[in-house]
Amino acid sequence: MQLHGRMVGLALIAAVAMTTGCVNTMGGKVDGDQVGPARDAIFDQSEIDVFGYTRTVIYLVITGVPDACEVWDEFDDIEFDECDDYCEDLNAVATEYLHHNEYWNLSVYLFAEDEVEIEYDQGDWLGEDEFTANLDLMDVTLIRDVDECEEECEDGDDIIAGEGEDAEDGNVIVDKFDSKDEIKGTYEIEFDSDDEVVSGNFKATHCDLGLSDFSF
């Protein structure tokens, strides 16, 4: 299955871990691998109706890619037509912005309210004061080589390789949410076992990630 520009952009703009002195941090290990580093955090929001009540759903991404929103916009502008042009466009963005082959992705969904501090527990879906989260390690090696990218694209294989885990326990605390400007807080999320805990801080700025398409 091919990942087109918008999907590739979403996959590539998230990676997490600890960077001393930064407002966006994460530390921990998953499957024995050190997660990291975090260099940016972005979020999008959408107003949706939940059983007759209007709620603000937040999609938060903590990422190892600097200037993450700009990178997202670049990938979102790529349209799939032929594999050769598609891979050349992906390669051009990767050459300018992506200087490593692997990136950790931490994605979090939750409901938020302006100027209200809320502590969220992990849930299987978006319930009251609950969050869902996924951690992925994405390998972008293929888009560095246009020929290899084209070969995989023509074969219908995944251009972006990776695997992920869903959160099983933990909490997220939002201590500041200012509508479309900023969301700030901390998190401690467990994946698979109590030995696989990822934690840190985030101070995310708004970015259009297409969340207006979200449905409940």
Q: How many domains does the chain have?
A: 1
What is the pLDDT tens value at each position of the chain, 216 positions in all?
344 444 454 444 443 333 334 588 888 888 888 888 888 999 999 988 888 888 889 999 998 888 899 999 999 999 998 999 999 999 999 999 999 998 888 999 999 887 778 999 999 888 889 999 999 887 889 999 999 999 999 998 888 766 788 999 999 999 999 877 899 999 999 998 667 899 999 999 999 998 765 555
Enter the tokens of residue 123. 């849930």
Q: Which structural domain, as residue segments, surrounds residue 52?
A: 5-213
Distances (CA, A) of 25 to 87, 154, 198: 32, 38, 10
Report the pLDDT value the prediction gives residue 213, as an integer from 0 to 100. Answer: 56
Q: Are strands 118-122 and 130-139 parallel, antiparallel or unpaired?
A: parallel
Q: Does residue 135 contact residue 164 with C-beta atoms inside 8 Å?
A: yes
- CB count within 10 Å of CB 2 equals 17
Percent composition of the chain: helix, strand, coil (DSSP 3-state, to 5): 25, 40, 35
